[in-house]
Structure 1
Amino acid sequence: MKPRTYYAPTGGHPPQTQLLSDRAVFTEAYAVIPKGVFGDIVTSNLPFWEGTRLWVLARPLSGFAETFSQYIMEVAPGGGSERPEIDPEAEGVLFVVEGEMTLTLAGERHAMGPGGYAFIPPGSDWQVRNEAEAPVRFHWVRKAYERVEGIEVPEAFVTNENDLEPNPMPGTEGRWATTRFVDPNDVRHDMHVNIVTFQPGAVIPFDETHVMEHGLYVLEGKAVYHLNQDWVEVEAGDFMWLRAFCPQACYAGGPGPFRYLLYKDVNRHPRLRLGGR
């Protein structure tokens, strides 16, 4: 199998000669945050994390993401956290795009490199440390877990994309496939974070319009997306947020695969009261 490649931001500042205009778009139905936005000036810090900075891609906000937050974490050698999550009801997914780190989960150490994926249930005991000689960069997707009486909270697991076979979309001859880290029929999970791959020229041939909210981070390649009534070009390093029911379709531009990390909320009743249950 050809080694996977994942885009990771490195920060910095653009030169004073650079034009101001870019592809950034923020609407009531979707947002496109291009890779050029992720400079030093927009990084954040977190409590109880050492040698770490992050880019916040999405957060619950009126008129923006409603169900999740997503960060790109950058941890320097020796950095990390013994108390990474301060919300006991938050579940999380970690996905490594560059470098190496050690995840300690319920006392068990896991070495994670590019393609490494971890699901962390709410209330877990976990720590992260960069024991390597170069920075590690990884995505951290967080969601308030929606408990349901009579359904158990799913257990933690650690895996790697390279150990999984993508599931082809029927009727596409494998040109459109999804790497699923969780069984779609497992209703214990209320979010999926998967990887979608389109081969050059592959398409979503209709405007998907559905209840799931989406966060899409482009890991590799480029494509043209139809969002609401607009056509936008995206490439590796760009992030898209799609509100529930935002029409969406795309075609991969080539010359290589177009791949993205996809968040969606699943397997729960829609809330009947805004801002509550």
Structure 2
Amino acid sequence: MGYPKDLLSSRSIIKPGQYALIAPEGLVNNVIPGFENCRISILGSPKLGASFVDYVVTMHEGGKNSEGYCGEEDVQSFVYVISGKVKAKAGDEEFILEESGYLYCPPGVKMYLENMESGDSRLFLYKQKHNPLEGKKPWVVSGHANDIEYMDYDDMTNVHLKDLLPLDLAFDMNFHILSFDPAASHPFVETHYQGHGAYLLSGEGMYNLDNEWIPVKKGDYIFMAPYVHQAAYAVGREPLTYVYSKDCNRDATL
């Protein structure tokens, strides 16, 4: 990046155990074993207060993970293609994922990734320990979000939702895409048990995090801990859209 062109400053706000806004211009590279010719930044993690780990990955030409990612008997993984084109494998199953493509690997199944572009492909990558339910077992899921129809969110025609994984008790988490038309908002400020990790795919907005209204835009990452107030307004000329994880289908533990 070279020498700074102005005073050093950052839009990022980090409040471990509560919330974080991580702007892309401050990200550094983390070397992750198994990834070749890739630039990876760890976003949400247990050090921040999350129960999961989120990454943003730039796979350069020839970038890949030929050794496989995750695959432990109690860890599940998910990848979403922000831009570009990758070959992805779940064990022996192979998928071609272009922009909006995704792949979920259940516990015990390794994920393999390889860039198919002559330039860069960008990915949002996730892992979390699985909370099993007796008699239920999740399975490999792949698709493209662009092939899924939006649903109205909470009976509002200007806020739209997509579920990327099946609504089945075998899954203890889901990934969603939430999109706000310009000037749209959540119906109320949410306070709930689940935590989120969200990557902003488009637009600009104001996000309420722990009752602080914070400007956000495309390329930002937001971590929201359980019970932290959260809500959004979309501003600008295009929809505010983000992909995010959510725990589901399990009771609270004592």
**TM norm structure 2:** 0.93
Structure 1 pair 206–109 and aligned structure 2 pair: CA distance change class (3 A): same
Other structure's SS at 2:186 match:
strand
Partner Cα distance (1:233, 1:131) in 2: 34
Distance 1:129 1:171, change over 3 A: closer
CA distance in 2, matches of 1:90, 1:265: 14
Output the CA distance in 2 between the equivalents of 1:50 and 1:158: 23
Tell me how far apart the structure 2 counterparts of residues 257 and 102 of structure 1 sit (CA, whole Å). Answer: 29
What displacement does 1:270 show? 2.2
Query: How many pairs align?
Result: 252
**In structure 1, what is the equivalent of residue 163 of structure 2?**
180
1:139 to 124, 142, 146: 124
Report deviation, 1:226. 1.4
Q: How does 1:1-277 map to 2 (within 5 A)?
A: 13=1, 15-27=3-15, 28-38=17-27, 42-61=28-47, 64-86=48-70, 88=72, 89-151=74-136, 153-173=137-157, 175-184=158-167, 186-272=168-254
Larger % of strand: which? Answer: 2
Q: Distance in 1 between matches of 2:82 and 2:90?
A: 20
Equivalent AA in structure 2 for residue 225 of structure 1: Y
Which residue identity is paired with 2:135?
G
- State how far apart, in whole Å, the 2-side matches of 1:247 and 1:126 are: 34
Aligned-partner Cα distance in 2 for 1:131–1:218 = 24
In the superposition, relative to structure 1, how do residues 134 and 220 fare at CA in structure 2: closer, same or farther (>3 Å)? same
SS in 2 for 1:210: coil
- Identity value in percent: 27
Tell me if structure 1 keeps the 8 A contact 2:80–2:123.
yes
Please report how far the alpha carbon of residue 14 of structure 1 lies from its aligned counterpart in structure 2 after TM superposition.
6.7
Please report how far the alpha carbon of residue 76 of structure 1 lies from its aligned counterpart in structure 2 after TM superposition. Answer: 2.0
Q: Which portions of structure 1, spanning 4 or more consecutive aligned residues, are displaced by more than 4 angstroms?
A: none
Q: What SS class does the counterpart of residue 241 from structure 1 fall into? A: strand
Asked whether the 8 Å contact 1:35–1:236 carries over to 2, the reply is no
Letter paired with 2:160: A
Q: Distance in 2 between matches of 1:33 and 1:170?
A: 28
Q: 5+ residue gaps in structure 2?
A: none
Structure 1 unaligned spans of 5+: 1-12, 273-277
Alignment partners' CA distance in 1, 2:3 and 2:214 = 25
Q: Is the 8 A contact 2:64 2:114 kept in 1?
A: yes
CA apart distance, 1:148:
2.0
1:156: Cα distance to partner?
0.3
Counterparts of 1:230 and 1:269, CA distance in 2: 29
Q: CA RMSD in A?
A: 1.6
SS, match of residue 25 in structure 2: helix
For residues 200-255 of structure 1, the C-alpha deviation after alignment (integer angstroms, 9 at most, x for no partner) is: 01011321000000111111000001111211000001111111000111110021
Q: TM-score, normalised by structure 1?
A: 0.86
State the 1:147 CA deviation. Answer: 1.3
Whole-Å Cα distance in 1 between the matches of residues 2 and 242 of structure 2? 25
